[in-house]
Structure 1
Amino acid sequence: METLNFKTSIKDKEGVTVVTPFLNNLKHVDGWNIDLSDSDKLLTVQTTDNRIGENVIEAVIQAGFSAEAVGRP
């Protein structure tokens, strides 16, 4: 299992609710979490395929937010 991290513009629980269906519909995602207490509003994605980073970013953009890959564990 791989972990991918993304800095996002999701600021609150309402934003998490909006992005949820977009992230839940992605293939190869085993789970995800957005840390709203982190200054980068860090989205952590658990996946079996670490090549889906662009798909995650596109899903967040489709939900109306921004996302940028970051190299955090």
Structure 2
Amino acid sequence: METQQFITDIKCSGCLGKVTPHLNEALGENNWEVDLNTPAKTLSIKVEATAETVKKSVQKAGFKAEKL
């Protein structure tokens, strides 16, 4: 399976803490990660999920995600 990537506006570890429960619920623990060291703050997911599912999970925490 190919890793999917999304550009996000998750800026810091505090933001990451807010989105974690939502992404864990939708994708499962250890099936995603956000690279806070890149300008795009890239979210990578390692499981089958629709872009809409990922976007909605991130939006529940008050952030945005756009598929690359």
- Is the shorter-chain TM-score for this pair beyond 0.5, marking a shared fold? yes
What RMSD, in angstroms, separates the aligned Cα atoms of the two structures?
1.7
Sequence identity percentage: 37
Question: Which residue is equivalent to 1:56?
Answer: 54
Between Structure 1 and Structure 2, the one with more strand by share is: 1
In the other structure, the counterpart of 1:13 is 13
- What is the TM-score normalised by the length of structure 2? 0.89
Aligned partner of 1:67 in structure 2 is 65
Shift of 1:3: 1.0
- Offset at residue 28 of structure 1 (A): 6.9
Corresponding residue pairs, total: 68
**Unaligned 5+ residue runs, structure 2?**
none
Distance in 1 (alpha carbons) for counterparts of 2:66 and 2:5: 8
Q: What is the rounded CA distance, in whole Å, between the counterparts of 2:6 and 2:44 in structure 1?
A: 7
Give the secondary-structure state (helix, strand or coil) at the position aligned to 1:26.
Answer: helix
Could you tell me which runs of 5 or more consecutive residues in structure 1 were left unpaired when the two chains were aligned: none
Q: Could you say what secondary structure the match of 1:40 adopts?
A: coil
Alpha-carbon distance between aligned partners in 2 of 1:18 and 1:29, rounded to the nearest angstrom:
14
TM score, norm. by length of structure 1: 0.83
